[in-house]
Amino acid sequence: MTRPPLILVAPSTQKRGIEFADHSLSLSNYYCRAVIAAGGLPVITPVTDNPRVIAASVARCDGVMLTGGDDLQPDLYDTKLPESLRKKVIGADPLRDLFEMELIDQSLRQGKPLLAICRGHQVLNVALGGSLITDIATEAPRSMEHRRQDASTDTVQEVNVNPHTIMHRIFGARRLRVNSAHHQAIGRIAAALHATARTDDGIIEAVELKPEDEAISPFLLGVQFHPERLFEKHVEFLKLFEAFVNASSANDAQR
């Protein structure tokens, strides 16, 4: 039987978990269900600041997936952010931020396929030198409502997909309906990335490496929406995970 590619899944954290109210890991099971449905084997990694452990974890996996959760600490992308915007930051965990920045670095160094979802899409941009919109409602008040947790498994907005991109190859469409559950977004895009999908109000919904930088990674895609919450009702979104898992399988075959 063919060995399923091993997908390292980076979890969120909780300040007070169920057991003894400890600082704990947290992860929606939707992520693992999506990886399994696409033919991968998900493995949840510990959140640590030990670079040796992070490097070894990436070395033993075939692909890396970043997940959603609370906001990043703003000093990672804007040390001069006004206090009025700092107050909009929700639940930042410096340990998780630094862990994921190192995880991205190791994924790129080791040439592992990388899928970054929601918060992960934002961390990816910051890790590569970009910035964030700290609060869409404050900084882009004419934008549509992007924080639709009430409809997390439904498609509530349309995005425009650029041709000749991973997103377009996956979905085969220039317009795509997605869900939306975020109050932050990519601001200044990192130099190595380009936006490959946007909503009509200009918010970046997907990023990929620029064509001239594609040699950095065999597969790199960041999406602002939550495909893991859609694929069971909207089967076309399973194709996104299949593309990622297939890239990870090819990576495994080369080892």
Taking the C-alpha atoms of residue 126 and residue 101, their distance in angstroms, rounded to an integer, is: 8
Q: Give the mean pLDDT of the chain.
A: 94
- Per the annotation, the verdict on 182 as an active-site residue is no
Based on the residue annotation, tell me whether 61 is a catalytic residue of this protein. Answer: no
Beta-strand pair 63-66/185-186: unpaired
Residue with the larger pLDDT of the pair 149 and 160: 160
The whole domain housing 15 covers 6-253
Of the candidates 121, 146, 182, 226, the residue annotated as catalytic is: 226
Q: What is the per-residue pLDDT for 150?
A: 86
CA distance 7 to 35: 8
Position 1 in a domain: no
Q: What is the mean pLDDT of residues 223-251?
A: 95
pTM for the full predicted model:
0.96
Q: Is residue 150 part of a domain?
A: yes
Number of domains, the chain: 1
- The helix or strand, by DSSP H or E, that contains position 101, with its residue range, turns out to be helix 94-109
Section 75-84 average pLDDT: 95
Residue 1's pLDDT band, with cuts at 50, 70 and 90, is: low
Is residue 61 in a domain? yes
Paired strand residues for 14: 24
136 lies in some domain: yes
Total residue count of the chain as it appears in this document: 255
> Using only C-alpha atoms, what is the Rg of the chain?
17
Structure token digits, residue 244? 């990622």
Structure tokens at 31: 């992520």
Q: Find the distance separating the first CA and the last CA of the chain, reported in whole Å.
A: 18
Report, as an integer, the average pLDDT of 200-204. Answer: 95
Within-domain flag for 38: yes
DSSP code per residue over 43-60: EEPP--S-HHHHHHHHHT
- What is residue 49's predicted lDDT score, i.e. its pLDDT? 95
pLDDT for 251 equals 66
Mean pLDDT confidence for 141-149: 84
Whether the CB-CB separation of 146 and 36 falls below 8 Å is answered with no
Res 149: pLDDT:
79
At residue 209, the pLDDT reads: 97
Instruction: Report pLDDT for 135.
Output: 94
226 catalytic? Reply is: yes
User: At 42, phi and psi to the nearest 5?
Assistant: -75, 140
Does residue 215 form part of some domain? yes
Q: Domain for residue 226, yes or no? A: yes
Write the pLDDT tens digit of every residue in 203-216: 999 999 999 988 99
Confidence class for position 182, pLDDT limits 50, 70, 90:
very high
CATH number, domain at 122?
3.40.50.880
Q: Which of 61, 100, 118, 208 is catalytic?
A: 118
Q: What are the structure tokens assigned to 66, written together?
A: 């970043």
